[in-house]
Structure 1
Amino acid sequence: MGKKLVMAQKRGETRALCLGVTMVVCAVIAYYILGTTVLPLYQRSVWTQESTCHLIETSIWDQDELGGKKVPQYPCLWVNVSAVGGWAVLYHTEDTRDRNQQCSYIPGSLDNYQLARADVEKVRARFHEHHVFHCFSTTRENGSSVLYQRLHGPQALLFSLFWPTFLLTGGLLIIAMVKLNRSLSILAAQK
Protein backbone atom coordinates (compact mmCIF):
# COMPACT_ATOMS: atom_id res chain seq x y z
CA MET A 1 0.00 0.00 0.00
CA GLY A 2 2.82 2.41 0.85
CA LYS A 3 4.57 1.72 -2.48
CA LYS A 4 1.36 2.49 -4.45
CA LEU A 5 0.93 5.73 -2.49
CA VAL A 6 4.50 6.81 -3.25
CA MET A 7 4.06 6.02 -6.97
CA ALA A 8 0.77 7.95 -7.12
CA GLN A 9 2.41 10.85 -5.31
CA LYS A 10 5.29 10.89 -7.82
CA ARG A 11 2.86 10.85 -10.77
CA GLY A 12 0.92 13.73 -9.23
CA GLU A 13 4.10 15.69 -8.62
CA THR A 14 5.23 15.08 -12.19
CA ARG A 15 1.90 16.27 -13.59
CA ALA A 16 1.87 19.35 -11.36
CA LEU A 17 5.47 20.13 -12.35
CA CYS A 18 4.55 19.78 -16.04
CA LEU A 19 1.56 22.10 -15.50
CA GLY A 20 3.74 24.71 -13.79
CA VAL A 21 6.42 24.58 -16.49
CA THR A 22 3.77 24.80 -19.23
CA MET A 23 2.25 27.87 -17.56
CA VAL A 24 5.67 29.55 -17.33
CA VAL A 25 6.45 28.77 -20.98
CA CYS A 26 3.06 30.13 -22.10
CA ALA A 27 3.66 33.29 -20.07
CA VAL A 28 7.08 33.79 -21.67
CA ILE A 29 5.55 33.35 -25.15
CA ALA A 30 2.77 35.83 -24.29
CA TYR A 31 5.34 38.34 -23.00
CA TYR A 32 7.29 37.98 -26.25
CA ILE A 33 4.17 38.52 -28.37
CA LEU A 34 3.12 41.56 -26.30
CA GLY A 35 6.66 42.91 -26.40
CA THR A 36 6.67 42.84 -30.19
CA THR A 37 3.11 44.11 -30.77
CA VAL A 38 1.63 46.18 -27.94
CA LEU A 39 4.76 47.66 -26.37
CA PRO A 40 6.03 49.37 -29.56
CA LEU A 41 2.59 50.94 -30.10
CA TYR A 42 2.66 52.26 -26.55
CA GLN A 43 6.19 53.62 -26.94
CA ARG A 44 5.45 55.30 -30.29
CA SER A 45 2.28 56.98 -29.05
CA VAL A 46 2.76 60.75 -29.07
CA TRP A 47 -0.58 61.48 -27.35
CA THR A 48 0.84 61.70 -23.85
CA GLN A 49 -0.09 65.17 -22.62
CA GLU A 50 -3.41 65.19 -20.78
CA SER A 51 -5.32 68.45 -20.92
CA THR A 52 -8.82 69.82 -20.49
CA CYS A 53 -11.03 70.39 -23.51
CA HIS A 54 -13.95 72.81 -23.72
CA LEU A 55 -16.63 72.14 -26.32
CA ILE A 56 -17.03 74.88 -28.94
CA GLU A 57 -19.30 73.28 -31.53
CA THR A 58 -20.44 69.96 -32.99
CA SER A 59 -21.91 69.21 -36.37
CA ILE A 60 -22.97 66.10 -38.25
CA TRP A 61 -22.05 65.70 -41.89
CA ASP A 62 -24.52 63.44 -43.63
CA GLN A 63 -24.14 63.53 -47.36
CA ASP A 64 -21.57 64.43 -49.91
CA GLU A 65 -22.07 66.25 -53.18
CA LEU A 66 -20.58 64.07 -55.90
CA GLY A 67 -21.16 64.94 -59.54
CA GLY A 68 -24.45 66.73 -58.81
CA LYS A 69 -25.91 63.67 -57.05
CA LYS A 70 -26.30 63.27 -53.34
CA VAL A 71 -24.55 60.10 -52.26
CA PRO A 72 -25.43 58.96 -48.72
CA GLN A 73 -22.41 57.99 -46.68
CA TYR A 74 -22.04 57.21 -43.02
CA PRO A 75 -22.90 60.11 -40.72
CA CYS A 76 -19.76 61.84 -39.49
CA LEU A 77 -19.55 63.79 -36.22
CA TRP A 78 -17.19 66.75 -36.21
CA VAL A 79 -16.25 68.28 -32.83
CA ASN A 80 -14.35 71.52 -32.36
CA VAL A 81 -12.83 72.17 -28.92
CA SER A 82 -10.58 74.66 -27.24
CA ALA A 83 -7.53 73.01 -25.74
CA VAL A 84 -3.81 73.62 -25.32
CA GLY A 85 -4.12 77.37 -25.74
CA GLY A 86 -6.25 77.38 -28.91
CA TRP A 87 -8.91 75.57 -30.88
CA ALA A 88 -8.47 72.01 -32.03
CA VAL A 89 -10.34 69.20 -33.74
CA LEU A 90 -11.24 66.36 -31.40
CA TYR A 91 -10.76 62.77 -32.59
CA HIS A 92 -12.20 59.79 -30.75
CA THR A 93 -9.06 57.61 -31.01
CA GLU A 94 -5.86 57.38 -33.03
CA ASP A 95 -7.62 55.07 -35.50
CA THR A 96 -10.39 57.60 -36.11
CA ARG A 97 -7.82 60.20 -37.08
CA ASP A 98 -6.08 57.74 -39.42
CA ARG A 99 -9.34 56.58 -41.07
CA ASN A 100 -10.87 59.98 -41.81
CA GLN A 101 -9.35 63.26 -40.68
CA GLN A 102 -12.63 65.10 -41.29
CA CYS A 103 -14.54 63.05 -38.70
CA SER A 104 -14.21 63.25 -34.95
CA TYR A 105 -16.32 60.15 -34.42
CA ILE A 106 -17.17 57.39 -36.89
CA PRO A 107 -20.02 55.07 -35.85
CA GLY A 108 -19.32 51.41 -35.31
CA SER A 109 -21.84 49.90 -37.72
CA LEU A 110 -21.81 51.53 -41.13
CA ASP A 111 -24.16 48.99 -42.74
CA ASN A 112 -27.40 50.42 -41.38
CA TYR A 113 -27.62 54.17 -41.91
CA GLN A 114 -30.40 54.74 -39.36
CA LEU A 115 -28.50 52.94 -36.57
CA ALA A 116 -25.33 54.82 -37.43
CA ARG A 117 -27.19 58.15 -37.36
CA ALA A 118 -28.73 57.30 -33.96
CA ASP A 119 -25.28 56.38 -32.63
CA VAL A 120 -23.81 59.68 -33.82
CA GLU A 121 -26.72 61.64 -32.33
CA LYS A 122 -26.21 59.87 -28.99
CA VAL A 123 -22.50 60.76 -28.94
CA ARG A 124 -23.30 64.35 -29.91
CA ALA A 125 -25.82 64.61 -27.05
CA ARG A 126 -23.18 63.36 -24.58
CA PHE A 127 -20.80 66.07 -25.69
CA HIS A 128 -23.50 68.70 -25.18
CA GLU A 129 -24.19 67.36 -21.69
CA HIS A 130 -20.54 67.59 -20.65
CA HIS A 131 -18.95 70.71 -22.11
CA VAL A 132 -15.65 70.19 -20.24
CA PHE A 133 -13.79 66.87 -20.40
CA HIS A 134 -10.29 65.43 -20.42
CA CYS A 135 -8.48 64.92 -23.69
CA PHE A 136 -4.98 64.03 -24.88
CA SER A 137 -2.73 66.21 -26.97
CA THR A 138 0.72 65.85 -28.44
CA THR A 139 3.76 68.04 -28.09
CA ARG A 140 5.16 67.16 -31.53
CA GLU A 141 2.43 68.78 -33.62
CA ASN A 142 1.16 72.33 -33.69
CA GLY A 143 -1.72 71.34 -31.40
CA SER A 144 -4.54 71.50 -33.95
CA SER A 145 -5.86 68.06 -33.01
CA VAL A 146 -6.52 66.24 -29.74
CA LEU A 147 -7.76 62.77 -28.78
CA TYR A 148 -10.70 61.90 -26.59
CA GLN A 149 -9.40 58.43 -25.73
CA ARG A 150 -6.01 56.74 -26.21
CA LEU A 151 -5.95 53.22 -27.61
CA HIS A 152 -2.35 52.59 -26.61
CA GLY A 153 -2.19 54.17 -23.17
CA PRO A 154 -0.82 52.87 -19.87
CA GLN A 155 -4.14 51.26 -18.90
CA ALA A 156 -4.24 49.20 -22.11
CA LEU A 157 -0.65 48.11 -21.52
CA LEU A 158 -1.39 47.03 -17.93
CA PHE A 159 -4.55 45.23 -19.01
CA SER A 160 -2.69 43.27 -21.68
CA LEU A 161 0.10 42.33 -19.23
CA PHE A 162 -2.29 41.07 -16.54
CA TRP A 163 -2.92 37.52 -17.83
CA PRO A 164 0.69 36.69 -18.72
CA THR A 165 1.74 37.89 -15.27
CA PHE A 166 -1.02 35.78 -13.71
CA LEU A 167 0.18 32.72 -15.68
CA LEU A 168 3.82 33.30 -14.74
CA THR A 169 3.03 33.77 -11.04
CA GLY A 170 0.74 30.73 -10.95
CA GLY A 171 3.27 28.53 -12.74
CA LEU A 172 6.09 29.57 -10.44
CA LEU A 173 3.91 28.96 -7.39
CA ILE A 174 3.01 25.46 -8.59
CA ILE A 175 6.68 24.65 -9.22
CA ALA A 176 7.66 26.01 -5.80
CA MET A 177 4.92 24.00 -4.07
CA VAL A 178 6.02 20.77 -5.80
CA LYS A 179 9.64 21.37 -4.79
CA LEU A 180 8.58 22.17 -1.22
CA ASN A 181 6.44 19.03 -1.10
CA ARG A 182 9.38 16.89 -2.26
CA SER A 183 11.69 18.46 0.30
CA LEU A 184 9.21 17.86 3.11
CA SER A 185 8.67 14.26 1.95
CA ILE A 186 12.41 13.61 2.02
CA LEU A 187 12.70 15.15 5.49
CA ALA A 188 9.78 13.07 6.75
CA ALA A 189 11.25 9.87 5.27
CA GLN A 190 14.64 10.53 6.94
CA LYS A 191 13.09 10.85 10.40
Structure 2
Amino acid sequence: MGKNLVTAQIRGETRALCLGTVMVVCSAIAYYILGTTMLPLFHKSVWTEVSDCHLVEADIRDHEKLDGKKVPQYPCLLVNVSTIGKLTILYHTEETKEKNSQCSYIPERLEDYQEARMKVEDVKVRFKEHQTFPCYSDPEESEKSVLLKKLYTPETLLKWLFWPTFMLTGGIFIIMMVKINQSLSILATQRKNPINTSQFRHN
Protein backbone atom coordinates (compact mmCIF):
# COMPACT_ATOMS: atom_id res chain seq x y z
CA MET A 1 0.00 0.00 0.00
CA GLY A 2 2.85 2.38 0.90
CA LYS A 3 4.70 1.66 -2.34
CA ASN A 4 1.53 2.35 -4.34
CA LEU A 5 1.10 5.71 -2.64
CA VAL A 6 4.73 6.65 -3.29
CA THR A 7 4.41 5.60 -6.93
CA ALA A 8 1.20 7.60 -7.35
CA GLN A 9 2.86 10.60 -5.70
CA ILE A 10 5.85 10.40 -8.02
CA ARG A 11 3.60 10.16 -11.07
CA GLY A 12 1.55 13.13 -9.89
CA GLU A 13 4.69 15.19 -9.33
CA THR A 14 6.02 14.27 -12.75
CA ARG A 15 2.78 15.28 -14.44
CA ALA A 16 2.67 18.53 -12.48
CA LEU A 17 6.26 19.32 -13.47
CA CYS A 18 5.44 18.61 -17.12
CA LEU A 19 2.37 20.85 -16.91
CA GLY A 20 4.33 23.68 -15.31
CA THR A 21 7.14 23.36 -17.86
CA VAL A 22 4.69 23.38 -20.77
CA MET A 23 3.00 26.50 -19.37
CA VAL A 24 6.34 28.28 -19.04
CA VAL A 25 7.40 27.28 -22.58
CA CYS A 26 4.04 28.35 -24.05
CA SER A 27 4.24 31.70 -22.29
CA ALA A 28 7.78 32.22 -23.61
CA ILE A 29 6.56 31.48 -27.16
CA ALA A 30 3.64 33.89 -26.68
CA TYR A 31 6.01 36.61 -25.42
CA TYR A 32 8.23 36.06 -28.46
CA ILE A 33 5.29 36.34 -30.87
CA LEU A 34 4.02 39.50 -29.17
CA GLY A 35 7.52 40.95 -29.08
CA THR A 36 8.04 40.46 -32.81
CA THR A 37 4.57 41.37 -34.07
CA MET A 38 2.40 43.44 -31.72
CA LEU A 39 5.05 45.31 -29.72
CA PRO A 40 6.63 46.99 -32.78
CA LEU A 41 3.16 48.19 -33.83
CA PHE A 42 2.62 49.63 -30.35
CA HIS A 43 5.94 51.50 -30.45
CA LYS A 44 5.30 52.66 -34.01
CA SER A 45 2.03 54.33 -33.01
CA VAL A 46 3.20 57.85 -32.16
CA TRP A 47 -0.30 59.34 -31.84
CA THR A 48 -0.40 59.67 -28.06
CA GLU A 49 -1.78 63.14 -27.37
CA VAL A 50 -5.51 63.82 -27.28
CA SER A 51 -6.44 66.94 -29.24
CA ASP A 52 -9.56 68.65 -30.58
CA CYS A 53 -10.13 68.24 -34.30
CA HIS A 54 -12.29 70.67 -36.26
CA LEU A 55 -13.78 69.38 -39.49
CA VAL A 56 -12.67 71.25 -42.60
CA GLU A 57 -13.63 68.89 -45.39
CA ALA A 58 -15.20 65.43 -45.77
CA ASP A 59 -15.23 64.17 -49.33
CA ILE A 60 -15.74 60.76 -50.89
CA ARG A 61 -13.11 59.66 -53.38
CA ASP A 62 -13.54 56.72 -55.70
CA HIS A 63 -12.48 55.49 -59.10
CA GLU A 64 -15.49 57.10 -60.76
CA LYS A 65 -14.70 60.60 -59.52
CA LEU A 66 -10.93 60.81 -59.98
CA ASP A 67 -10.21 59.80 -63.57
CA GLY A 68 -6.61 59.53 -64.68
CA LYS A 69 -5.22 59.33 -61.13
CA LYS A 70 -4.01 56.37 -59.14
CA VAL A 71 -6.95 55.76 -56.84
CA PRO A 72 -8.45 52.63 -55.24
CA GLN A 73 -11.21 50.69 -56.96
CA TYR A 74 -13.51 51.24 -53.98
CA PRO A 75 -15.08 54.28 -52.32
CA CYS A 76 -13.09 55.85 -49.51
CA LEU A 77 -13.60 58.93 -47.38
CA LEU A 78 -11.06 61.73 -47.20
CA VAL A 79 -11.34 63.93 -44.11
CA ASN A 80 -9.29 67.07 -43.59
CA VAL A 81 -9.27 68.60 -40.13
CA SER A 82 -7.73 71.50 -38.31
CA THR A 83 -5.92 70.74 -35.06
CA ILE A 84 -3.35 72.75 -33.08
CA GLY A 85 -3.71 75.48 -35.67
CA LYS A 86 -2.71 73.24 -38.58
CA LEU A 87 -4.54 71.60 -41.45
CA THR A 88 -3.99 67.85 -41.67
CA ILE A 89 -5.60 64.60 -42.78
CA LEU A 90 -7.54 62.41 -40.37
CA TYR A 91 -7.24 58.61 -40.41
CA HIS A 92 -9.67 56.22 -38.77
CA THR A 93 -6.95 54.02 -37.17
CA GLU A 94 -3.26 53.25 -37.62
CA GLU A 95 -4.19 50.46 -40.02
CA THR A 96 -6.14 52.80 -42.28
CA LYS A 97 -3.01 54.74 -43.19
CA GLU A 98 -1.10 51.51 -43.81
CA LYS A 99 -3.83 50.24 -46.16
CA ASN A 100 -4.19 53.43 -48.19
CA SER A 101 -2.82 56.85 -47.26
CA GLN A 102 -5.37 58.51 -49.58
CA CYS A 103 -8.32 57.38 -47.45
CA SER A 104 -9.38 58.56 -44.02
CA TYR A 105 -11.90 55.73 -43.80
CA ILE A 106 -12.14 52.45 -45.74
CA PRO A 107 -15.24 50.25 -45.35
CA GLU A 108 -14.65 46.69 -44.16
CA ARG A 109 -16.62 44.99 -46.94
CA LEU A 110 -15.56 45.94 -50.44
CA GLU A 111 -17.21 43.15 -52.48
CA ASP A 112 -20.41 45.10 -53.09
CA TYR A 113 -19.57 48.59 -54.36
CA GLN A 114 -23.01 50.05 -53.67
CA GLU A 115 -23.05 48.74 -50.12
CA ALA A 116 -19.55 50.11 -49.50
CA ARG A 117 -20.62 53.47 -50.94
CA MET A 118 -23.61 53.65 -48.60
CA LYS A 119 -21.36 52.87 -45.62
CA VAL A 120 -18.95 55.64 -46.55
CA GLU A 121 -21.84 58.06 -47.08
CA ASP A 122 -23.12 57.24 -43.59
CA VAL A 123 -19.71 57.94 -42.04
CA LYS A 124 -19.46 61.20 -43.98
CA VAL A 125 -22.84 62.34 -42.57
CA ARG A 126 -21.63 61.59 -39.04
CA PHE A 127 -18.59 63.79 -39.54
CA LYS A 128 -20.83 66.56 -40.84
CA GLU A 129 -23.01 66.29 -37.75
CA HIS A 130 -20.05 66.49 -35.34
CA GLN A 131 -17.90 69.38 -36.49
CA THR A 132 -15.59 69.16 -33.47
CA PHE A 133 -14.43 65.87 -31.94
CA PRO A 134 -11.46 64.45 -30.02
CA CYS A 135 -8.58 62.94 -32.00
CA TYR A 136 -5.04 61.67 -31.42
CA SER A 137 -1.99 63.57 -32.59
CA ASP A 138 1.78 63.22 -32.34
CA PRO A 139 3.05 65.54 -29.57
CA GLU A 140 6.48 65.73 -31.24
CA GLU A 141 4.82 66.53 -34.59
CA SER A 142 7.00 64.06 -36.46
CA GLU A 143 3.74 62.57 -37.80
CA LYS A 144 1.60 65.26 -39.40
CA SER A 145 -1.62 63.21 -39.64
CA VAL A 146 -4.02 62.51 -36.77
CA LEU A 147 -6.15 59.54 -35.75
CA LEU A 148 -9.79 59.25 -34.82
CA LYS A 149 -9.28 55.99 -32.92
CA LYS A 150 -6.15 54.25 -31.58
CA LEU A 151 -5.78 50.49 -31.90
CA TYR A 152 -2.49 50.18 -30.04
CA THR A 153 -2.86 51.64 -26.55
CA PRO A 154 -1.30 50.72 -23.19
CA GLU A 155 -4.59 49.06 -22.24
CA THR A 156 -4.43 46.94 -25.41
CA LEU A 157 -0.83 45.99 -24.60
CA LEU A 158 -1.88 44.86 -21.12
CA LYS A 159 -4.61 42.69 -22.65
CA TRP A 160 -2.07 41.10 -24.97
CA LEU A 161 0.29 40.36 -22.07
CA PHE A 162 -2.35 39.08 -19.63
CA TRP A 163 -2.59 35.42 -20.71
CA PRO A 164 1.17 34.89 -21.29
CA THR A 165 1.87 36.41 -17.88
CA PHE A 166 -0.89 34.29 -16.32
CA MET A 167 0.57 31.10 -17.85
CA LEU A 168 4.12 32.03 -16.83
CA THR A 169 3.09 32.77 -13.24
CA GLY A 170 0.98 29.60 -13.03
CA GLY A 171 3.75 27.44 -14.49
CA ILE A 172 6.38 28.80 -12.11
CA PHE A 173 3.98 28.40 -9.18
CA ILE A 174 3.29 24.73 -10.05
CA ILE A 175 7.01 23.96 -10.41
CA MET A 176 7.81 25.67 -7.10
CA MET A 177 5.03 23.80 -5.29
CA VAL A 178 6.28 20.43 -6.61
CA LYS A 179 9.86 21.23 -5.59
CA ILE A 180 8.74 22.34 -2.12
CA ASN A 181 6.66 19.18 -1.75
CA GLN A 182 9.64 17.04 -2.76
CA SER A 183 11.88 18.82 -0.25
CA LEU A 184 9.33 18.34 2.54
CA SER A 185 8.99 14.66 1.64
CA ILE A 186 12.76 14.19 1.88
CA LEU A 187 12.87 15.97 5.27
CA ALA A 188 10.00 13.85 6.55
CA THR A 189 11.76 10.65 5.43
CA GLN A 190 15.01 11.72 7.13
CA ARG A 191 13.19 12.43 10.41
CA LYS A 192 11.50 9.05 10.36
CA ASN A 193 14.80 7.24 9.79
CA PRO A 194 17.47 9.30 11.58
CA ILE A 195 19.60 6.25 12.45
CA ASN A 196 19.71 4.86 8.94
CA THR A 197 20.52 8.30 7.53
CA SER A 198 23.41 8.83 9.96
CA GLN A 199 24.77 5.35 9.26
CA PHE A 200 24.59 5.97 5.51
CA ARG A 201 26.53 9.23 5.89
CA HIS A 202 29.11 7.57 8.16
CA ASN A 203 29.75 4.74 5.72
TM-score normalised over the length of structure 2? 0.78
Paired residues for 1:16-165 under 5 Å = 16-62=16-62, 63-66=64-67, 73-138=73-138, 139-141=140-142, 143=144, 145-165=145-165
Identity %: 61
Aligned to 1:176: 176
SS in 1 for 2:60: strand
Larger radius of gyration: 2
| Structure 2: unaligned runs, 5 residues or longer | 193-203
Rate the CA distance shift 1:136–1:170 in 2: closer, same or farther, 3 A. Answer: same
Per-residue CA deviations over 1:118-165 (Å, capped at 9, x if unaligned) read: 32233334434544332221224473x211123333233222222211
Q: Which runs of 5+ in 1 are unaligned?
A: none
Query: How far apart, CA to CA, are the structure 2 residues paired with 1:65 and 1:50?
Result: 33
Q: Decide whether aligned partners of structure 1 residues 25 and 72 sit closer, same or farther in structure 2, where only a CA change above 3 A counts.
A: closer
Residue type of the alignment partner of 1:66: D
Provide the secondary structure at the position in 1 that maps to 2:65. strand
RMSD: 2.6
Distance 1:96 1:167 in 2: 33
Alpha-carbon distance in structure 2 between the residues aligned to 1:32 and 1:134: 35
Aligned residue pairs, count: 187
- Distance of aligned partners of 1:111 and 1:130 in 2 relative to their CA distance in 1, 3 Å threshold: same
Alignment correspondent of 2:199: none
Structure 1 segments (4+ residues) deviating >4 Å: none
Structure 1 or 2: larger strand share? 1
- In structure 2, the CA distance between the partners of 1:11 and 1:77, relative to structure 1 (3 Å rule), is same
1:142 and 1:164 map into 2 onto residues whose CA distance is 32
> Partners of 1:83 and 1:72 in 2: how far apart?
27
TM-score, normalising length: structure 1:
0.82
1:29 Cα offset (Å): 2.1
